[in-house]
Structure 1
């Protein structure tokens, strides 16, 4: 009967919101030899069967797990939806067919872009041809209106009256081909003495520079060598960079073509641009960011003379049309050492000065009527200055000459080929009767033919 009462009490406790596990049973003697069984159940007022601490923690963790599971299921659902969308008929991934379709579409787009690029390039070339034709006509018109002086200037400081009206500074004009007046070549040429330039051969490449530092530079041979280095000794300076100081020497052109220098000199001061020359055993060059000229003796490997070129522009004030800080360009011919430059007084027109090769002193100067920035390059042959019209056009011309003997200039149209389409240096070597040139990494020479005087 006691267990029935206990069970009934438990059921009653459950129905009232209490747990059986909180009831307690006691057994004891009543002092008369009988067993007494008693049990107690907490009333609702005392406690509502609180869960132990461990069960509360398990319940909390379970709730967190259910929350995380629900979040994970939501994310999985979104991921499945995204994968289904991408792998569908319009998707770019998921199946081989989708990848192939995407690749095919990309290749078709690439092909269309290449066709468009080719079309635009063809249009650009056509426009360039039209610009060239217009430039030629423009040159003819300008010459017809203004012309060049046909008589010497009696006053060295006098300028041609209409030269200021010629806008040689226009960037478009700098690239015009100047085909104006054909030179009538003499019936025979002089291979030893001086004369006017009448013909240039096609460029012969001797070496291609093998790094970006050789995109443009200067190379030369000494037309009047002194003992220690012979006439075949070839010198080269890569002019790309802010601290150009290495001068490479090669025993001859064959060693140059193989790329095996026999001498490497470190110059005491950096070189500015591509205007250097070698003459009578010395390297003549312009010091970087200055109008100072240096004579570096190749035998003693030291500076033998230095002098500022009076009033000369430098570091981008009056360069050739291709740029490159070509403000001062040194040159050598049958008569000696020259400097091609400009000044503020000349207003950008080319000034040609004869220099003393020992002291670098200016002996005499001539001012021309051609703006330095309107031509691609210049060189001197037999005391006459010659300019080249373009540094990028493959078929350009030697378009102007200025005679220091007569003191006047005239237009020319002698074909000149820029085979590699970026000509940054042109110098004359009177001993070899050739032009040395640096054309877009390539070191090339041109044979020269002079007419008799």
Structure 2
């Protein structure tokens, strides 16, 4: 029995034994527990008691009775007015009816006054209760704020624009110069433009069999692209189409005044420098699927020669593809810029490429879309390269103007998504929180 008492007391008190002299023993008692908040408990009890006194079944019944009385008086007043209108002879009956109506109005006014007084008391009680609750929440928030240590710098992988939360639009919707002529293609802006080309737009159309292209078309402004006036016109990669190192597939991007794309008939990425007209290649891993064997797809259709998808974001150029050893799942590699570009780092995901219709990058995060209906596309998946976290429930929907989006690329210059849909150029605004 004594043991049961000693254990909790030891948890609350600290005994310090001091021996100042041989004939005297002194013990200091130190209470390590927090003092019980008697004052706060008393205040809470008082508030609860006042609340119980103000809100009682009797007062609730009183309020309901007043409402019921008012509800019954108003139809009666309407009936009396109708009687006055029917029997108004300007003399005795009219005077009597007016007296009855006056009495009715007096009683109704009394009911309304009582109802207002009761309602005001209840409103005041609600206000007091709300203020106390807000004060409690504020105190709690203040205490938690003091306890949580704040990092000295933002966590790694945070987007400078905020969290990607939605897509709106279409903002731009144009057939360009060749309405209905070229079903596959890509367009957009250079995130790292050469001097004097900050407002330029580029366009690459699959001009041979909806599969191949051998030039990039430039526009000095968005309005020039919309009305179809190309200045300075085409920059030719090669006079033949297709041939060695020309474009294969619609998923191309322009970055740093250079076009990145899937080299013709190779599992490699080509970089075509628009200023020097030179081409460098980056070989992808052995087993990379190409020549329309690892396309983007949905249930009804696969988009031909979309084995490799090039993407740009705030940090540069990325390539999205799949390999035999990854069993068809998406693989992501970052392009390291330089005189001879290489792949700096590679990530492997668990999403099957042929269950995806398109991909794009934003702030180092890979996003994948899927076909929902002819009018709707869904951004359903993300992979954060800074944390390795995958999400399959993004749930952001894109309103389509055409059933299929053959290329989709994010522009960090203006936070826009540029889509190429059955020969139409469409753009959407990306919203960050």
1:272-302 Cα distance to aligned partner (Å, 9 max, x none) = 1111111111111111221121111111222
Q: What CA distance in whole angstroms lies between the structure 1 residues aligned with 2:431 and 2:369?
A: 16
Instruction: Using the TM superposition, give the Cα deviation of residue 197 of structure 1 relative to its aligned residue in structure 2, in angstroms.
Output: 1.6
Partner residue of 1:215? 183
Structure 2 residue 307 is the aligned partner of structure 1 residue 332: no
Aligned to 1:300, what secondary structure does the other structure show? coil
Instruction: Using the TM superposition, give the Cα deviation of residue 422 of structure 1 relative to its aligned residue in structure 2, in angstroms.
Output: 1.7
Instruction: Using the TM superposition, give the Cα deviation of residue 231 of structure 1 relative to its aligned residue in structure 2, in angstroms.
Output: 1.6
1:361-416 Cα distance to aligned partner (Å, 9 max, x none) = 11111111100110110101111111111175312311111111111201211111
Partner residue of 2:69? none
Partner residue of 2:330? 350
TM-score, structure 2 length as denominator?
0.57
Instruction: Using the TM superposition, give the Cα deviation of residue 250 of structure 1 relative to its aligned residue in structure 2, in angstroms.
Output: 0.7
2:358 touches 2:408 (CA, 8 Å); kept in 1? yes
1:281 to 257, 265, 278: 257
Cα 1:213–1:270, aligned 2, differ >3 Å: closer, same or farther?
farther
Larger gyration radius, structure 1 or structure 2:
1
Partner residue of 1:237? 204
Structure 2 residue 433 is the aligned partner of structure 1 residue 448: no
Structure 2 residue 347 is the aligned partner of structure 1 residue 366: yes
2:159 touches 2:363 (CA, 8 Å); kept in 1? no
2:375 to 387, 390, 394: 394
Aligned to 2:169, what secondary structure does the other structure show? coil
Q: Can you give the 5+ residue segments of structure 2 that lack an aligned partner in the other structure?
A: 1-157, 239-244
1:77-131 Cα distance to aligned partner (Å, 9 max, x none) = xxxxxxxxxxxxxxxxxxxxxxxxxxxxxxxxxxxxxxxxxxxxxxxxxxxxxxx
Aligned to 2:395, what secondary structure does the other structure show? strand
1:272 touches 1:286 (CA, 8 Å); kept in 2? yes
1:340 touches 1:351 (CA, 8 Å); kept in 2? yes
TM-score, structure 1 length as denominator?
0.55
Instruction: Using the TM superposition, give the Cα deviation of residue 195 of structure 1 relative to its aligned residue in structure 2, in angstroms.
Output: 3.6
Aligned to 2:303, what secondary structure does the other structure show? coil
Instruction: Using the TM superposition, give the Cα deviation of residue 208 of structure 1 relative to its aligned residue in structure 2, in angstroms.
Output: 0.3
Indicate the structure whose relative CO is greater, using CA pairs within 8 Å and at least 6 residues apart: 1
Partner residue of 2:171? 204
Structure 2 residue 404 is the aligned partner of structure 1 residue 436: no
Cα 1:342–1:415, aligned 2, differ >3 Å: closer, same or farther?
same
1:213 touches 1:239 (CA, 8 Å); kept in 2? no
| Structure 1 residue ranges (4+ consecutive) displaced by more than 2 angstroms after TM superposition | 204-207, 209-213, 357-360
Aligned to 1:400, what secondary structure does the other structure show? strand
Partner residue of 1:48? none
Q: Report the more deviating stretch, 247-256 or 267-276.
A: 267-276
Q: How many residues align?
A: 259
1:154-197 Cα distance to aligned partner (Å, 9 max, x none) = xxxxxxxxxxxxxxxxxxxxxxxxxxxxxxxxxxxxx9824432
